[in-house]
Chain A
Amino acid sequence: MKNSFLSVSKTHPATWWLLGLALAITASLSATPLVLFAIGAVSMLLVLAFRDESAWSRSVSFYLKLAAAVVAIRVLFRIIFNLESSPANPLLVLPEINLTLAEGVSLKLFGSISALSFQSALTDGLRLAAIILAVGMANSLANPMKLLKSTPGALYEIATAISIAINLAPQLIASLNRVRRVRGLRGQSKGIRALPGLVIPVLEDTIDQSMSLAASMSARGFGRKGQRSKMALKITRFTGLAAITMIAVGVFLLLITPTTQVLDLSIAIAGLAFAVVYIKMSALGSLRTKYRKQAFQSGDYCLFVLTAALLVSAFTGVLQF
């Protein structure tokens, strides 16, 4: 699989994210356990087939465990907080517990549960699990750091901040483990709270690491701006502000009015147009070049077709049998 045209190193990271999101959307629109199960299974098979050696692809078992936990919790909650009152053909008969929380407010726990109610809980759980696995697939196959290279110039700073935050989490866990282990070497008298002993070295580590990363980026030229007039800078900022405001107002109006109004829609569309102009204008002012820029290739187009087919079938209800 390594050298085929679909190998991860040759496909664009955005392709996997699009496919993952399409699978997640399909899952959220579907109510058939079999379809949901298939989406989850397809996601995991994709990871197993295409993953490479990077650290990101080792997270499969984490997503599987999370998905299983979500299904289990959903079903368990349905059994505990059972709202049905004595169904005709109970699947499971449990004793009922009635709690009186306040005057006139009571809560029923357990009790008999029907196959139908059980199935709907299972479907809800499976839907969430399928979404988790679809997004997990994208995250495992498309390293967020690589995706960073493809973000437009205007969003580069934000994307950098996000990717640093993503990378900080494993470092935090590593230093927490180290400090916890080391703390076993020195005891603590009763009057002393244990928390500062754990938190102070870990925080110090994290802050040191973030500062040294920021220093490194700055020392290597991050944040350097091209030659641009103050006027151009002002216009760019104004466009950005206008874009955000118009998108926010447009979407708000669209959501509060029951029927789609031409005015609301045009405000939102104008906002999007401003956003595109803003991104283009910011890119003009940046110096940055992209080495090893990834272009879409045949493998990407194959996956695009798959993604489009999936979305069409999801919205036209082909998968709702």
Chain B
Amino acid sequence: MITLRDLTFSYLKPDGTPVTETPQLNRVNLEVAEGEFVLVCGPTGSGKSTLLKTLNGLAPRFTGGLLSGEVILDGKDLTGKEPHDFAHLVGFVNQQPEGFFVTDTVIDEIVYGAEQLGMPVAEIDDRIKPIIEILNIGDLLYRPLATLSGGQQQRVAIAAALVAGQKILLLDEPTSALDFAGATEVLSSLKKLAHESGVTILLAEHRISRVIAEVDSVLVVHGDGSVTKGDPATQFNDARFAPPIIQLGAMLGWKPLSISTEDAAARWAKQSPDFQEKKLHEPGKKILEIDSLKVTFGNVAAVSATNLDLYANQVTAIMGENGSGKTSLCWAIQGLGERSAGTVLLDGQDTAELARDARLDLVAMIPQRAADLLFLHSLADELKESDTFAQVEPGTTANLFAQLAGRIDTSIHPRDLSAGQQLALVLAIQLAKQAKVLILDEPTRGLDYAAKRALAKQLQLLRSPERTIVLASHDVEFVAEVADRVIKLQAGQIVADQSPIEALGWKSQLPSQLAQISRADGLVSIEQVLA
């Protein structure tokens, strides 16, 4: 169905020379069979997105850059054609469904592509029925798109991409903006599509663990221009993007590697490897005292009557689905956010009543889109501005940043840093004044496994007897690795306050992947395993 011959793609600088010495994709040769379900992985920035976009003309048309080689789809050479010339053959689904919608109701959005291709109305009617059924969106047809949940929106986007009878479906990290429930909806729809409809699917995805057992093959974009494709068990020799299950297999010397949880669990049971107790940090002194805190928007209680003490030396994870009140709670603790009642005391003073500069000194918060806090034109300027504003010794922020992210050429534009480096920069800026409270709202969004591991190390470095760290997240594996205490939120209420061993253990509602594999009491995170 898909044949790439010597495909080479480079991004170009304004003067027409390539940005990097080796092209983003270098002489790629690739075959994908009809009906094959392919998982595309690779480290952040390696070119997964670019590869997908060369398959429907968006690269180079919308990305810029230079393409050579041949793109042959369904027997036709489409190299160099416009994206709309691919439209009848290739459907494309993006990370953020809402930014990609052209119309405003579900039915109009689904038929948009078929209308543009001039499909007769009677044929559209015939086509939409099976697609609606597979994606289970029959009840949503006449709803405005804006009122749907993220998972529902993404399923509509998939239906819209396939309604004109497209034979190839490309998905560029379709679940990265979704919570656990939404991602599960989308991934199970994809499984059904792959097995029932014969569509060839290329899925670029960070949440590898949950689809890896379903795919026919894995395609790895290595980041040095090369691309390899093969059986899932053979493709993960690069730890930068290996999910915990693959990492575990590598540690225990499993050959071939296990890719499904069931398979790994059987092997674990046979081998019963040793593991150490999880190192949890004892609570230090009490830093924050939250008393009957409430946040209401209109009639909706985002956070209802919360009492919570947070201690130094600990990382406290706040977990819950989208809309459970995590973000509202973070902002209310920081002091700038809405509050309808209650107090958050830091050294006897309410964070909401602190003067602006004092609050910035004491409470550091990293919002969901950390890059929103960056606004200067070079890394050097950002570091200098941070020192000036915090009135600290010149170089303080730079030193902290170097500790967190290593040495990086400071003439680079902050927007050109990787997502993980941007996060480290914002952490360094926000902590230049040694804040006592650090709040992170969904910090792992869009990070690959390597960047998540780096962030986990950074949080260990930032842990101190003078500081409490609060982490809002629905990333089970990350929380299992870094948290000392897990608070579960449901519809604005605290439903559990446990150690990660209880909260994410194999008997809990939300077991980590390692807990599912090992079914061992006290084991939740991979660094506990001794090999």
> What residues of chain A have their CB less than 8 Å away from a CB belonging to chain B?
53-55, 143, 145, 149, 178-179, 181-189, 191-192, 196-198, 200-201, 204, 208-209, 211-224, 226, 286-293
Known: A187-B356, A220-B112. A213 touches B100 (CB 8 A): yes
- Cα(A192)–Cα(B381), bound, Å: 11
Q: Is the CB of B100 within 8 A of A216?
A: yes
Residues of A within 8 A of B103 (CB): 145
B residues in contact with A222, CB < 8 Å: 84, 102, 116
**Is the beta-carbon distance between A223 and B84 smaller than 8 angstroms?**
yes
Q: Which of A215, A219, A224 has the most CB of B within 10 A?
A: A219
Residues of the B chain whose Cβ atoms lie less than 8 Å from the Cβ of A293: 121
Q: Are A187 and B360 in contact (CB under 8 A)?
A: yes
22 pairs from A and B in contact (CB 8 Å cutoff) = A55-B144, A145-B103, A178-B372, A182-B372, A183-B373, A185-B365, A186-B373, A188-B389, A196-B376, A197-B375, A208-B99, A212-B99, A213-B100, A215-B83, A216-B94, A219-B92, A220-B87, A220-B102, A220-B161, A288-B118, A290-B115, A291-B111
Beyond A54-B104, A220-B160, 4 additional contacts (C-beta under 8 Å) are A55-B144, A196-B375, A220-B92, A224-B84
* Cα distance A134–B117 in the bound complex, in angstroms: 37
Nearest 8 Cβ contacts at the A-B interface = A287-B118, A221-B87, A221-B116, A197-B375, A220-B113, A218-B83, A189-B389, A189-B388
A292 touches B108 (CB 8 A): yes
- B107/A292 in contact, CB under 8 A: yes
Q: In the bound complex, do residue B62 and residue A181 qualify as a contact, i.e. CB atoms below 8 Å apart? A: no
Q: Which of B377-424 contact A (CB under 8 A)?
A: 385, 388-389, 415
Contact with A along B52-77 (1 / 0, CB 8 A): 00001110011000000000000000
**B102–A217 CB distance below 8 A:** yes
- Knowing A214-B62, A289-B119 are in contact, say whether A185-B336 is a contact too (CB < 8 A): yes
Distance (Å) between the CB of B354 and the closest chain A CB?
A: 12
Shortest A141–chain B CB gap in Å is 15
Is B472 in the interface zone, CB < 8 Å from A?
A: no
Q: Answer yes or no: B88 CB below 8 A from chain A CBs.
A: yes
Assess whether B24 is interfacial by the CB under 8 Å rule. Answer: no
Most chain A Cβ neighbours within 10 Å, of B57, B112, B116, B373: B116
Verify B115–A288 contact, CB threshold 8 A. yes
Report whether B86 and A219 are in contact in the complex, using a CB–CB cutoff of 8 Å. Answer: yes
User: Do the beta carbons of B388 and A288 come within 8 Å of each other?
Assistant: no
Query: Are the CB atoms of A184 and B104 closer together than 8 Å?
Result: no
A222 to chain B: closest CB distance in Å?
A: 5
B114 within 8 A of A: yes
Question: Closest Cβ of chain B: how far from A116's Cβ, in Å?
Answer: 47
Which chain B residues lie closer than 8 Å to A181 at the CB level?
Answer: 336
The one of A182, A188, A209 that contacts B367, using a Cβ cutoff of 8 Å: A182
- List chain A residues, Cβ under 8 A from B360: 185-187
Whether A218 contacts B82 by the Cβ 8 Å rule is: yes
- CB neighbours (8 Å) of A189 from chain B are 385, 388-389
**B residues bordering A, Cβ < 8 Å?**
56-58, 61-62, 82-88, 90-92, 94, 96, 99-104, 107-108, 111-121, 124, 144, 146, 160-161, 164, 334, 336, 356-357, 360, 365, 367, 369, 371-373, 375-376, 385, 388-389, 415, 429-430
Q: When chains A and B are docked, how far (Å) is the Cα of A68 from the Cα of B135? A: 48
B104 touches A221 (CB 8 A): no
| Minimum CB distance partner of B390 in chain A | A187
Q: Between A and B, how many residue pairs show CB distances below 8 Å?
A: 149
Which one of B121, B144, B389 lies within 8 Å of A291 (CB-CB)? B121
A286 surroundings in chain B (CB, below 8 A) = 118
**Chain A hits for B91, CB < 8 A:** 220
B78 to chain A, nearest CB (A): 13
Q: Do A218 and B61 touch (CB < 8 A)?
A: yes
Return the chain B residue nearest A286 by Cβ: B118
The complex places the Cα of A197 from the Cα of B94 at a distance, in Å, of 28
How far is A314 from B489 in the complex, measured between Cα atoms in Å? 62
How far is A182 from B334 in the complex, measured between Cα atoms in Å?
Answer: 12
Contact among B56, B101, B119, B375 with A219 in the assembled complex (CB-CB below 8 Å)? B56
In the complex, what's the smallest C-beta–C-beta distance from A299 to chain B, in angstroms? 19
> A291 CA to B117 CA in the complex, in Å?
12
Q: Which residues of A contact B369 (CB under 8 A)?
A: 178, 182
A185 lies within 8 A of B373 (CB): yes
Contacting residues, chain A, for B58 (C-beta < 8 A):
215, 218-219
Complex CA distance for A189 and B367, rounded to whole angstroms: 20
Known interface pairs A184-B336, A186-B373; A287-B144 also in contact (CB < 8 Å): no
Supposing A215-B62, A221-B84, A221-B164 touch, asked if A145 and B118 sit within 8 A by C-beta, the answer is no
Nearest opposing residue in chain B for A212, CB measure? B99
Nearest residue (CB) in B for A217 is: B102
Which residue of the partner chain, among B62, B107, B114, B146, contacts A218 with CB atoms under 8 Å?
Answer: B62
Residue of B nearest to A145 (CB): B104
Distance between A164 CB and nearest chain B CB, rounded to angstroms: 9
Q: Which residue of B lies closest to A204 (CB)?
A: B415
Q: Which residues of B contact A291 (CB under 8 A)?
A: 107-108, 111, 114-115, 121, 124
Contact B99 A289 (CB under 8 A): no
In the complex, residue of chain B having the shortest beta-carbon distance to the beta carbon of A149? B108
Whole-angstrom CA separation of A53 from B143 in the bound complex? 9
Contact of A179 among B86, B111, B372 (CB under 8 A): B372
B375 touches A201 (CB 8 A): yes
Contact B430 A185 (CB under 8 A): yes
The residue of chain B having its C-beta at the shortest distance from the C-beta of A215 within the complex is B62
In the bound complex, how far is the Cα of B336 from the Cα of A214, in angstroms?
36
Min Cβ gap A52→B in Å is 9
**Nearest A residue to B370, CB-CB:** A182
Once the chains are docked, how many angstroms separate the CA of A197 from the CA of B376?
8
Give the nearest-CB partner of A223 in chain B. B84
Q: Is the pair A186, B118 in contact by a Cβ cutoff of 8 Å?
A: no
- The chain A residue sitting closest to B83, CB to CB, is A218
**B295–chain A nearest beta-carbon distance, Å:** 14
Instruction: Tell whether, in the assembled complex, residue A213 and residue B99 are in contact, meaning their CB atoms are under 8 Å apart.
Output: yes
Checking A184, A200, A219, A226 against B87 with a beta-carbon cut-off of 8 angstroms, the contacting residue is A219
Q: Which residues of A contact B373 (CB under 8 A)?
A: 182-183, 185-186
Chain A CB within 10 Å, residue with most, of B83, B160, B336, B376: B83
